[in-house]
Structure 1
Amino acid sequence: MSDPDTEADSLLEGTSGIWQYLLVFILTMVPTIEPFIVIPVAIGLGLDPVITGLVAFAGSVTIVSVIVLAQHRLLAWWSQRTDDDDDSSGRYARARRIWERYGLVGLAFAGPILAGIHLTAMLAVSAGSSRQTTIGWLTVGLGAWTVALVAASLAGVSVLGLT
């Protein structure tokens, strides 16, 4: 399997203009790539940090909303493809522990980095949170992560002298 960071880098480098931002939007929706890879790569390649952050945030919120709204169908599909006891990555178990200890608010802030935005969204709504509340808190958490990622990426670019 190839490195998601390298894939995002090569895809973004191979395009220009508005197409780069469209790719940022799309790539933030892809499991394993998500905003934690896309934002630093895009800013490192010289894309505008504010636009990158806004577009990445929009992509993240879009996929979270789709997952929450289509949760029943996604869970049925997932259970057909996997053994419920098999979670070799441990991501679901980490997300579940966060949910049990800190509830939806804790999951909204810690889940994206520890389990990924996709699993976080599925767990939150399957654990009993309402769709609107889940989307609301995950949007707040993703907003905080987006701001942090843009700031950290700008600091990293500055320290590395890439500006």
Structure 2
Amino acid sequence: MTTSLLIAYIIVFLLSAVPLLEAFIVVPVAIFGGMNFTLTNIIGIAGNLLTLLILIVMMDRIKQWYLNKREQAGKGKSRKSQRAENIFQKYGLPGLAFIGPFFIGSHFTALMAVILGGPQKATFWWVTLSVAVWTIGISILFYFGIDFIGLEDKQFLNEFSQQ
């Protein structure tokens, strides 16, 4: 593995850890760029889960901060919060964990799940499963979609990784 390819994997890890970028966005782009399918998925999911784990461990403090901030601002529930609560009431924690990341990201989904009463441990495992399923699923569709339309030779990271 070249140094530049190692840097590319580190970038995938770091970008996947950023809320709203998420692994299921970063990983397919990296695969389109020519990076290894399996390794990129593992690294991207790990990056996403690292910050998710930190968020859930610190959830009690974050929950208090979030609720106090909303109360001090005199704001009611936001549209996103209301949507998340409706999904949580209708489908429970598993439903929120699988639907939420697509609309508001895995980090905010975990935050909303705990605020709405989901246990921290269960929230982590459901959101972890959701991130893995979304990332691998979209990566597979993206990988075969690229192959189907004949763009496998347009891998923009090949030049970067061969230097």
The alpha-carbon distance between structure 1 residues 48 and 126, as it changes in their structure 2 partners (threshold 3 A), is same
Supply the distance in 1 between the matched residues of 2:77 and 2:114 (Cα, whole angstroms).
21
* 1:150 corresponds to 2:133: no
Supply the distance in 2 between the matched residues of 1:45 and 1:92 (Cα, whole angstroms).
35
1:75 is matched with 63
Point out where structure 2 has 5 or more consecutive residues left out of the alignment.
153-163
Point out where structure 1 has 5 or more consecutive residues left out of the alignment.
1-14
* 1:26 corresponds to 2:17: no
1:137 is matched with 126
Contact 2:52 2:107 in 1 (8 A): yes
Q: 1:155 deviation in Å?
A: 1.8
Supply the distance in 2 between the matched residues of 1:109 and 1:103 (Cα, whole angstroms).
10
Identify the structure with bigger relative contact order (alpha carbons < 8 Å, sequence gap 6+).
2
2:101 is matched with 112
1:56 is matched with 44
Secondary structure of the residue that 1:17 maps to in structure 2?
Answer: helix
2:53 is matched with 65
Q: 1:121 deviation in Å?
A: 0.5
The alpha-carbon distance between structure 1 residues 154 and 133, as it changes in their structure 2 partners (threshold 3 A), is same
Supply the distance in 1 between the matched residues of 2:66 and 2:7 (Cα, whole angstroms).
32
Secondary structure of the residue that 1:161 maps to in structure 2?
Answer: coil
Q: 1:43 pairs with 31, 53, 63, which one?
A: 31
Structure number with larger C-alpha Rg: 2
Supply the distance in 2 between the matched residues of 1:35 and 1:23 (Cα, whole angstroms).
12
Identity of aligned residues (%): 33
Contact 2:24 2:131 in 1 (8 A): no
Contact 2:114 2:123 in 1 (8 A): yes
Question: Scaled by the length of structure 2, what TM-score is found?
Answer: 0.79
Q: What per-residue deviation string (whole Å, max 9, x for no partner) do you get for residues 25-67 of structure 1?
A: 1111212211232012111111111111111111122122111
Q: 1:81 deviation in Å?
A: 5.6
The alpha-carbon distance between structure 1 residues 158 and 132, as it changes in their structure 2 partners (threshold 3 A), is same
1:128 is matched with 117
Q: 1:79 deviation in Å?
A: 4.8
The range that moved more, 48-57 or 15-24, is: 15-24
Supply the distance in 2 between the matched residues of 1:97 and 1:18 (Cα, whole angstroms).
43
1:17 is matched with 5
